Structure 1
Amino acid sequence: MRLGLALPTFGPDARPEGVLRVCRTAEEAGYDSLWTGDRVLAPLVPGAPYPSGDGEMPRAYENHMDPLVALTFAASHTTRVQLGTSTLNGLWQPPIMLARSLTTLDLLSQGRLVVGLGLGWMPDEYTAVSVPWKGRGARLEETLDVLEKYWTNDVFSHEGPLFTIPETVVGLKPRQRPGPLVLLAAFTPGGLRRIGRRFGGWLPVAMPLPHLMGMWNIILKEAVEAGRDPSALRMALRVNPQLTDTRTDPEQVPRAGTLAQYVDYARAAAEAGVHELFVDFGQTPATLAERVDLAGRFLEGVRRG
């Protein structure tokens, strides 16, 4: 199983020196990937509860970097690790602009980009970027249509319900052909079916492994029914540790636990068939130095197993 680490693109460590330090830590320690998230708004009173924990949005989101710019910076300071978004809200800009940005980043990183898309949870952000909250699924489908055309055609046009692109020459092509791996963060039955039918894989968050693998089997079944090879799909599992000083009841993991318990969870995930697991220590109250130390101890613990 591949192991990744979230970049500090949220909170007080979302600074050049913080991103650079985590980049170097990942490369030197032997992590396989680096990941960024996406926020454009931190309202005082969000229009919807945060979909985790007690429903309160993490204060770290009040300070947020542009995920693709941050990954471009990371690309310039690394040579080996893959660079992923978990998740990028691909609906906040026209798909032709998204295609150009993603293609540029894949080229500049020498083919190390993994595109993780999501639909977000907060209607306020859609209001801020003048994109309707309603109809997100259809907008996602058409966005994917445009990405695929941009990456695989030298000349293309698009006429859809939401977007019109006049016929154009596309000389810019990603390093990865036919294009970067595109994953989707989704948990509804419709979202899982969409992954199996159209996407390269799944971006779940940590949950009890029986439930996780049950949802994964739904995706694989849908892929088979769509005539796709299910073995080609990939899962990259996000873990947001809530670290405790003493061991918690096993039923609390992965919601909360000691570092050793999260190491055990990662080992069990590898045995269950998870392809990649990345950890975000940025949602803990630790300092940057402490998070770097945690990242090293976590990697050593999982690899030792």
Structure 2
Amino acid sequence: MDVGLFLNTQWHKHETASVADITAQANAARDAGFDSVWLPHHYLTEPMQMMQPFTLLGYLVPETGNMLLGMDILLLPMLSPTMVAEEWATLDVLSGGRAVLGVGMGARPEEFEAMGVPRRERAPRMAESVELIRRLWTEDRVTFKGRFYSVTDAGIGLRPVQPGGPPIFIAAMADAAVDRAARIGDGWLIAPNDDLGKVQGHVQTYREALRRHNRPSTTPVRLTRECYIGTDRARAFEECRPALEAKYQAYVSWGSVKAFGGEKQLSFQDFARDRFLIGDEASVRDDIARYAETLGVDQFIMRTQWLGLPIDNAIGTIEALGRIFA
């Protein structure tokens, strides 16, 4: 099995944004044998501070050894596909062919408004963008007339190292989006928000869609999970709860999560069950094996730090995961 690290790139307004913390996490993942590093992407996050991924991924190239460098996820419908094709070709060259492009539709209305993109157009914009990006990576000169984007007899300034360009993983959390991921993606990114039962249903939908669209059954799937490993399960919950609970309250405010808080008023432990990987090393090892067997996945992305969690705690989890996946 492979394991990637979802890097925290966020800080409270009163904190100093720490490049040292990011480097420490990336170095710890590299030294622990992780196969990849993944960054998030948002705009207009005040009062939360957040680094932007294009520049940060370039900075991380020499810090990450042979690990893949990816996005989980880039908000593609808000961006020019030509710009993304150029940026990711550059990252692929800088990293010697280690770039991965994970994309998703996005949700926050203020981001779409600021970028001048109608939120209702996000699905067709993303599909059209993926098509154009692939053509720009593989053809010397492109003529493309789409609903949203056009290129006339032009080519990008730098070709990727990887034949065909970096793989494009599609994030999806609903049946129609999962079908789209199977149809146009080189892989599927499963978000950390849903519990195991719901993810299991989506995995079945994805496998069926791969067959229907004549895509290889071996098309990869990466499962993103929140993960914290402590000396015992009770202490692990106590240590990570404030930071992780605050993270998901933010998701509730964005409309991305409906089951936590609100009318159901689930406890943190109930919400975490079959959704987060929290415990001591042995119990988390068992849970990872259970997820892998239930879902038929062998690639994970673990987020081990959230706003307010000390960096040393996150690195402890990274090191423990290195032992689990060794």
Instruction: Give the CA deviation at 1:192.
Output: 1.0
Distance 2:291 2:87 in 1: 33
| Contact 1:41 1:125 (8 Å CA) reproduced | yes
Alpha-carbon RMSD across the aligned residues, in angstroms, is 2.3
AA of the residue aligned to 1:24? N
Secondary structure in structure 1 of the residue aligned to 2:209? helix
1:266 aligned residue (288, 295, 315): 288
Q: Report if the CA contact (8 A) 2:227-2:302 is conserved.
A: yes
Match of 2:29 in 1: 26
What are the ranges of 5 or more consecutive residues in structure 1 without an aligned counterpart? 45-61
- Residue 106 of structure 1 deviates from its aligned partner by 1.1
Cα distance 1:251–1:279, how it changes in 2: closer, same or farther (>3 A)?
closer
Cα deviations by residue, 1:226-273 (Å, 9 ceiling, x for unpaired)? 122122x11111112477526757982324742444333222223342
Which residue of the other structure, out of 188, 213, 227, is the alignment partner of 2:214? 227
For 1:129, give the aligned amino acid: M
Paired amino acid for 1:23? A
The counterpart of 2:204, out of the listed 217, 242, 247, is 217
Match of 2:235?
245
2:313 paired residue number = 290
Cα deviation, residue 30, structure 1: 1.0
SS at match of 2:23: helix
| Pair 1:201 & 2:190 matched | no
**Match of residue 51 from structure 1:** none
Is the Cα–Cα contact under 8 Å of residues 185 and 202 in structure 1 kept in the other structure? yes
Deviating above 4 A after TM superposition, structure 1's stretches of 4 or more consecutive aligned residues are 246-251
Structure with the bigger RCO (C-alpha within 8 Å, sep 6+) is 2
1:39-66 Cα deviation digits (max 9, x unpaired): 111267xxxxxxxxxxxxxxxxx11111
How many residues end up aligned between the 2 structures? Answer: 285
CA displacement at 1:284 relative to structure 2? 6.1
Q: Could you give the per-residue CA deviations for residues 179-235 of structure 1, whole angstroms, max 9, x where no partner exists?
A: 21111111122101101111112111244434323311211211211122122x111
Unaligned runs of 5+ in 2: 238-268
The letter of the residue matching 1:217 is Q
Q: What secondary structure sits across from 1:128 in the alignment?
A: helix
Deviations along 1:80-132, whole A, 9 cap, x unmatched? 11111101111222111111011111111111111110111211111112221
One-letter identity of the residue aligned with 2:25: V
Instruction: Give the aligned residue type for 1:2.
Output: D
Match status 1:177 vs 2:177: no
- Is the Cα contact below 8 Å between 2:77 and 2:123 reproduced in 1? no
TM-score, length-normalised on structure 2? 0.80
Equivalent position amino acid for 1:164 in 2 = S
Q: Is this contact kept in 1: 2:224–2:302, CA < 8 A?
A: yes
Query: Which AA in structure 2 matches 1:291?
Result: A
Partners of 2:273 and 2:319 lie apart in 1 by 24
Which residue identity is paired with 1:153? E
Matches within 5 A, 1:1-305: 1-11=1-11, 12=15, 14-42=17-45, 62-170=48-156, 172-206=158-192, 207-231=194-218, 233-241=219-227, 245=235, 252-255=273-276, 257-260=278-281, 261-272=283-294, 273-283=296-306, 285-300=308-323, 302-303=324-325
Give, in angstroms, the shift of residue 144 of structure 1: 0.9
Over the matched positions of the two proteins, sequence identity in percent amounts to: 24
